[in-house]
Amino acid sequence: MATNNVEPIQSEENVIKTELYLPSILGYEKIARGAVAALAEQIDLPADRIEDLKTAVAEACMNAIEHGNNLTSGINVTVAMLITADKLEVRVADVGVQVIPETLPAPGTSGSMRGWGMFFIKNLVDEMAIKRLPDGGNEVRMIIHITPTEQPQQEPKSITPVDPKPSAIQPAEKKPSAVQAVEKKPSAIAPQEQKSSAVMATKTDDEPKPSSEN
């Protein structure tokens, strides 16, 4: 279970930052899911932790799209991914049309089998916190700790193995990272016009139900 006291990153030095802007259309959370997986692979996170992070980030984005931005396609969800020496932090921010309540109902108790998203986030990352932004938006911060064998790639340089003998556990090869620090600017994924889509929102009030027919 994640702790609920994320230490803020004090200095932006030595932080590799990537930002992504998603339109508030359900389905676009998969873009963030793919991006965070690519980033996590860059720092050699174990495969199971990458899967955990993919699910947590997708769920945070879905909440932001559906509730925080009220499915308004022209309003962006901002996904910031920050890598430091010891952690990978993902911040998902919306404009706060609906504020994330401090106390959430137990998942699956609303009668619609919904509400599992925050449950997954809390249970899949090492640390998480929900923050109210000064402009009224919500920000969900999720952190995965990087163990010493999962250091971020800083600068390409040659490595001289300490032990010349071949080992089953090789140090991670230092290579130029494809993850570049970016300024705050719109990404290539631009907000789209509202259009009919297979990933349009569905209402939960009139959900079809399984019949009780036996």
Partner 1 sequence: MSKEVDHRMQGKIGFMDFPRDVTAQTRETAYNAYNELARAKVDVIGLNFEASDYLNSAGIGLVISLVEDAVQAGRTVYTYGLSSHYRKLFSMVGLTERITLVANETEMLEQHGSD
Q: Does 210 bind partner 1 (CB under 8 A)?
A: yes
36-44, 90-98, 138-146, 196-204 -> range binding partner 1 (CB under 8 A): 196-204
Q: Determine contact, residues 94/77, Cβ cutoff 8 Å.
A: yes
Among 136, 142, 50, 45, which residue's Cα sits nearest to residue 92? 142
Toward partner 1, which CB reaches closer, 114 or 174? 114
Does an H or E element contain 147, and which? none
Q: Looking at beta carbons only, is 196 or 214 nearer to partner 1?
A: 214
Smaller CB separation from partner 1, 165 or 195: 195
Q: Which residue type occupies 145?
A: H
From the list 42, 26, 201, 33, the residue with the least C-alpha distance to 124 is 33
Structure tokens at 93: 């921010």
Q: How far is the CB of 204 from partner 1 (least distance, A)?
A: 8
Which residues in 27-66 contact partner 1 (CB under 8 A)? 27, 29-30, 33, 48, 51-52, 55, 58-59, 62
**Site map (CB under 8 A) of partner 1, residues 86-125, x = contact:** ---------------------xx---xxxxxx-xx--x--
> Closest approach of Cβ 126 to partner 1, in Å?
16
Instruction: State which of residues 26, 38, 80, 189 lies at the interface with partner 1 (CB under 8 A).
Output: 26
Of the ranges 134-142, 149-157, 164-172, 195-203, which one interacts with partner 1 (CB under 8 A)?
195-203
**Using rule CB under 8 A, residue 154 touches partner 1:** no
Q: Is 152 in the site for partner 1 (CB under 8 A)?
A: no
Please name the helix (run of DSSP H) or strand (run of DSSP E) that holds residue 49, with its range, or none.
helix 47-63
Nearest to 100 by CA among 80, 83, 121: 121
Neighbour order of strands in the sheet with 76-83: 16-23, 76-83, 87-93, 138-145, 127-132
Angle between helix 47-63 and helix 116-124 axes, rounded to 10 deg: 140
Residue holding tokens 């998603």? 22
Instruction: HSE, CB side, 13 Å, CA atoms: give it for residue 91.
Output: 18
Residue type at 182? V
Contact residues for partner 1, defined by CB under 8 A: 26-27, 29-30, 33, 48, 51-52, 55, 58-59, 62, 107-108, 112-117, 119-120, 123, 198-199, 202, 204, 207-214
